[in-house]
Amino acid sequence: MSIPQYNDKIITPKKHAKAIEEYKIKDGEWNLTADAVVIGSGAGGAVAASELARQGWKVVLIEEGSYFTPAQFNSDEFLSQARLYRDAGFIVSEEQTISILQGRSVGGSTTINWQTSLYPPDYVTDEWDKRFGWKGFSREEMDPYVSEVHERLGVHEVPDNLVNANNNVLRKGGKKIGLNPQVLKNNNRGCIGLGRCGLGCPINAKQSAFLTWIPDAIEHGAIVVSNMKAVKIKDGKMKTVIAEFTPDAYEKAPATVIESMEISAPVVIVSAGAIEGPALLQRSGLGNDWVGRNLKVHPTSTIFGKFPEEIKMFQGPPQSIVIKDGHNQNGTGYGYWLEAAPYRPTLASSLVPFYGKTQFDVMKDFTKYNAGIVLVRDGADGEANASVSWSLGRRKVYFELTPTDGLNLLRGLKTLAEVTVAAGATELIFPFTRFKEPMKVDANTNFDWILKESFRPGDVSVGSAHPHGSIQSAKDESLGAVDLNLELFGHKNIFVMDASVYPTGLSVNPQITTMSVVLRASRNLAKQRQERTKI
């Protein structure tokens, strides 16, 4: 699939000299006006920019990360993680209790995600309704928006011939012990199973935002600028977004660049993600004390299984099978489910909890290992024990498992161990830091001991690729930071439209839900142009 022609209009550093001449920019500072400024170009910002532009709004979208074309997507893990991911792929909490993966490029995390396309089950959306006033968000009620997103992204079930050996461990082992493995839906057109989704799809099969909503926005007049970080929002009838140039550390910047932007607009849409979004609002002095609070991360932990035959977990579509049996523990709506992870050597070696020769011995046999992951819907004890704060000039993330979330993680690890052994694994590598080497296993191994393991910080490795909910939406400001229209309480015409707005743990990979929720919200906002942009 070719690159959309409208992407040629994305203002990258190489095009700054031309933009300076065209827009008569002086002293490296670009001052411009718009109807709306969108901050961030991922699943939320791209959709919002497209919808507003389609309805005639003058839109400026800024993105901190760079714009990459498929020719720049390669299998160099170090370079790809450094350029495509925030904090080079390792957003680490202050006490090193969790490591979070998040995209940082035009397209955001949609550029590097693993394609899994899901919408939350009804017990999640029912909780949104009962506790926070979110009405009309069941899968059935949201079908027009979800279906539109599915069509735009090419969402379909993974064909059986592309279910790789890594995912087949879940299918084979799950069936053997009486569980119900299901085939997942992915978002692509023409996937051939290269398995490089996490490094950017080199053939444009994965329908990321930079191939869909971003060119849609540009086609309808939006200005899209990469390598510009929003550092502050000034409130007022006319808002001002101040942004600074953020060069790519791995590419020499041109001699002439736009150093900063000051964009004035009556409407601002923050789509900077659940980590940077609250930090931006906090350093701007905007919002109530729910901003940055109750961060949900979909905490995840890994078991590696060694098999007699080669698995090559990195080949094929990353995620094609899911086991949901443990997700609704005792009817609470909270629990865990199991997916596969296509770790490449760099990430895998960081997750193997050994050192020295033992770690090297594992990595020498890397192609014989599978990787299964447990994903826990966090928030079973109420508010999650995680947050984001802007303090002493930098963004800080805090995280700790709550008691029930920790127990659900252990339950998931027990089930995952049983599934992996049932599929034929002979050794397991657990995420518990007390282990010094892989554990040999067979069909008779009992894993009840896992339920007694410690999940205190430092005792078990926990990661995340789904940060959300740190600027949660609710019916009133005693329960959230933004209202049901996703407008920031106390600040007219400042909206948050991304995965930050979910009031509870989402339970699923967030891309489809975020696009669908933002499509609905931005479409409603787009109809209010005259009212919202009148100064």
**Same domain assignment for residues 15 and 64:** yes
Domain that holds residue 275: 5-85+103-154+202-293+468-533
User: Which residue type, as a one-letter code, is found at position 446?
Assistant: N
Same domain, 113 and 207: yes
Q: How far, CA to CA in Å, does 236 sit from each of 24, 58, 271?
A: 27, 19, 19
Which pLDDT score, from 0 to 100, does residue 139 have? 98
Residue 352 within a domain: yes
Q: Which two tokens stand for residue 276?
A: 């940077």
Q: Which residues contact 340 (CB under 8 A, 6 or more apart)?
A: 166, 167, 169, 170, 313, 318, 319, 320, 321, 370, 371, 372, 373
> In the chain, how many domains are there?
2
Does residue 37 sit within a domain? yes
Domain C-terminal end among 429, 459, 489: 459
Query: pLDDT by residue for the chain (535 residues), tens digit each?
Result: 689 999 999 999 999 999 999 999 999 999 999 999 999 999 999 999 999 999 999 999 999 999 999 889 988 888 999 999 999 999 999 999 999 999 999 999 999 999 999 999 999 999 999 999 999 999 999 999 999 999 999 999 999 999 999 999 999 999 999 999 999 999 999 999 999 999 999 999 999 999 999 999 999 999 999 999 999 999 999 999 999 999 998 888 899 999 999 999 999 999 999 999 999 999 999 999 999 999 999 999 999 999 999 999 999 999 999 999 999 999 999 999 999 999 999 889 989 999 999 999 999 999 999 999 999 999 999 999 999 999 999 999 999 999 999 999 999 999 999 999 999 999 999 999 999 999 999 999 999 999 999 999 999 999 999 999 999 999 999 999 999 999 999 999 999 999 999 999 999 999 999 999 999 999 999 999 999 998 7
321 and 436 share a domain?
yes
Please check whether residue 389 lies inside any domain of the structure. Answer: no
- Is 247 in the same domain as 225? yes
With CA atoms as reference, report the closest residue to 48 among 33, 57, 38.
Answer: 38
Residue 388 in domain:
no
Do both 109 and 39 map to the same domain? Answer: yes
CATH number at residue 276: 3.50.50.60
Q: Which structure tokens are listed for 288? A: 């109530």
Of the candidates 393, 424, 459, which is a domain's last residue?
459
Would you list the DSSP string of 38-104?
Answer: EE--STTHHHHHHHHHHTT--EEEE-SSB---GGG--S-HHHHHHHHBGGGG-EE-TTS--EE--B-
Give yes or no: residues 433 and 341 share one domain.
Answer: yes
Task: Give the pLDDT score at 1.
Answer: 66
CATH code at 329? 3.30.410
In a domain, 50, yes or no: yes
Per DSSP, the residues of 141-153 read: TTHHHHHHHHHHH
146 and 280, same domain (yes or no):
yes
Quick one: pLDDT at residue 347? 87
- Give a yes or no: residue 91 inside a domain: no
Cα gap 473→485, rounded to integer Å = 8
Torsions phi, psi of 433, nearest 5? -70, -10
Q: Are both 225 and 237 inside the same structural domain?
A: yes
Looking at the structure, tell me whether residues 447 and 480 fall in a common domain: no
Q: Tell me whether residue 243 is in a domain.
A: yes
Last residue of a domain, one of 459, 482, 504: 459
Three-state SS annotation for 368-423: HEEEEEEEECCCCCCCCCEEEEEECCEEEEEECCCHHHHHHHHHHHHHHHHHHHHC
- Residue at 426 is within a domain: yes
